[in-house]
Structure 1
Amino acid sequence: MTRDWLSWHEDYDQPGSALAARLTEVQRQVRTALDQAPAGPLRVVSACAGQGRDLIPVLATHPRRSDVTARLVELDPRNAAVAEDAARAAGLTGVQVVVGDAASTDAYADLVPADVVLLCGVFGNVSDADVRATVGHCAALCASGGTVIWTRHRREPDLVPTICDWFVQEGFAQVAVGTPADQVGVGVNRYLGHPRLLPPGVTMFHFLPN
C-alpha cells in the first residue's frame, strides 16, 4: 500500500511523537543556520519539502526573513498547497513552492549554490547508494560556507555515522549530529569547498516503495 504523504504529516501535531521531536530539532538548526549566515541576500532550497514545516514557521518570525529567497520542492500537490498557504499567510513573498520532482537537479538550477539546503525526510526513503550520490550533489547545491540539514532514521543498520563520513569526504565539516527522539537522526554539515557545477537533468535519488 502506497503511503499517503498528506496524512503522514499528522504526526507532527502529536505532542511527544518522534516526528514532532524531529521537527523541533530541524527548526532549531534552521534558525541557527540563518543566525550565522553572512549579511546580504540568502538562498534556501528544500527537497521533498512536504508542507514546509521545517522552514516556513522559522522564517515567519526570523529577523532575516526579508533576506531569504527560498524554493520548496514537493511532489504531492496537496502538501504543496498547504505550504503555499502557510507562506502566504506569513507574508513570506520570497518563498516559492514548486510542485515537482525534488530529486531532479533541474528543480534547483537557478537558485544554487544555496546558503541553506534542507534534505529532511529524504535519506530514510532512498537506497544507501542514492544517499551517497545525493551527498555528492550537495557540493553543488551548497554555497561555500553554506549549511546542509538532513535527517535519517537510526534503525539498525544505522547509516548516520556513514553519512557523516560521506559528507566529510565531499568537503563538508560536521557541525552537529543528534538523536532528538528514539531512532531519529538529525545531521548538520557546513561546506568548506568551492561549489561545484550542478549537472543538468540528473535524478539524484529515487524513493523506495513504501
Structure 2
Amino acid sequence: MDWQAWHQRYDDPGSDLSRRLDAVKTQVRAALDRAPDGPVRVISLCAGQGRDLLDVLEDHPRRADVRARLVELDPELAAAARERAPAEVEVITGDASLTDQYDGMVPAELVLLCGIFGNITAADIRRTVAASRQFCATGGTVIWTRHREEPDLVPEICGWFEDGGFERVWVSEKDAGFGVAVHRFTGVPEPLVRGRQLFSFVPGGV
C-alpha cells in the first residue's frame, strides 16, 4: 500500500476519506471539551500525518492542556506530523501495534484508533479493543473507524467495546460512506502489558 498516496485523498473535500476526517475531528473536539480539568493525555495509533488531532489543536481552548503521543510507522508521514506538532505533542516513528510505545502515556483521556480496523483481522480488532482497557482512563474516550462495507463489523465491534466496560457515545449512520464511532470507558484502567503486539496489517485491507 502506498500510504502517502492514500493520505492525499484527505485533500479532496468530496472524498469519503475527507468526510470521515471531518467526522473524526468533530468527535476529537467534543472529547477535549468534556475532558476533566488538568492535563489531557492523548495517544494516537497509526497516526499518519496526525490531521485528526493537530487540526483541532490549532484553535481548541484546551490546547495547552494536551500531552499527546502519535505513533506512525511511515517515516515521511511521521515527519509531516512532527513538522506541525506543538511542543506538547510527541511524534514517534515506529510500530503502533506494540504496547511498549504507550508506556508513560496511559491511561489517557483520548485514544485514537483511526484507519486501523479496516486493515486488520477481526481477531486483531478484538485484541485491540481489549487493550483499550489499558489505554483509557476512567471516563476517557476512544474514537475508532471502520468501513461499513460487507462484512460490516461495526455492530460487532461496538459490542466488543460495550462488553469490555465502554458505553456508546456516537456511531455514524451506516449510509454515511464511512464508519466512525465513539466509546467512553466507564471501568477501571488495567495495567499496561508491555511486550505485546496487538495487530498486523493485512495487504489490501479486510
State the TM-score bracket (shorter-chain normalisation). Answer: over 0.9
Aligned partner of residue 81 in structure 2, secondary structure:
helix
Report the residue type matching 1:160 in the other structure: V
- Show the 5 A alignment for 1:12-31: 12-31=10-29
- Show the 5 A alignment for 1:146-157: 146-157=140-151
Task: State percent identity of aligned pairs.
Answer: 56
Report the residue type matching 2:106 in the other structure: V
Deviation at 1:51, TM superposition (A): 0.3
- Show the 5 A alignment for 1:27-66: 27-66=25-64
Provide the C-alpha distance between the structure 2 equivalents of 1:149 and 1:40, rounded to a whole number of angstroms. 21
Please tell me whether the aligned partners of residues 45 and 114 of structure 1 are also in contact (alpha carbons under 8 angstroms): yes
Please tell me whether the aligned partners of residues 25 and 53 of structure 2 are also in contact (alpha carbons under 8 angstroms): yes
Deviation at 1:184, TM superposition (A): 1.0
Q: Which residue of 1 aligns with 2:197?
A: 203
- Show the 5 A alignment for 1:127-146: 127-146=121-140
Aligned partner of residue 153 in structure 1, secondary structure:
coil
C-alpha deviations, 1:14-69, integer Å up to 9, x for none?
02100000000000000000001110011000000000011001011101011010
Q: 1:11 aligns with which of 4, 9, 12?
A: 9
- Show the 5 A alignment for 1:106-145: 106-145=100-139
Q: Which residue of 2 aligns with 1:187?
A: 181
Provide the C-alpha distance between the structure 2 equivalents of 1:10 and 1:181, rounded to a whole number of angstroms. 23
Report the residue type matching 1:98 in the other structure: I
Aligned partner of residue 125 in structure 1, secondary structure:
coil
Q: Which residue of 2 aligns with 1:158?
A: 152
Please tell me whether the aligned partners of residues 21 and 181 of structure 1 are also in contact (alpha carbons under 8 angstroms): no
Report the residue type matching 2:25 in the other structure: Q
Please tell me whether the aligned partners of residues 171 and 180 of structure 2 are also in contact (alpha carbons under 8 angstroms): yes
5+ residue gaps, structure 1: none
* Alignment TM-score, normalising by the size of structure 2: 0.97
Provide the C-alpha distance between the structure 2 equivalents of 1:183 and 1:206, rounded to a whole number of angstroms. 25
Q: How many residues align?
A: 204
Which range moves more in the overlay, 180-189 or 63-72? 180-189
Deviation at 1:109, TM superposition (A): 1.1
TM superposition outliers: structure 1 runs of 4+ over 2 Å:
179-183
Please tell me whether the aligned partners of residues 148 and 174 of structure 2 are also in contact (alpha carbons under 8 angstroms): no
Q: 1:173 aligns with which of 145, 167, 177?
A: 167
Deviation at 1:179, TM superposition (A): 3.6
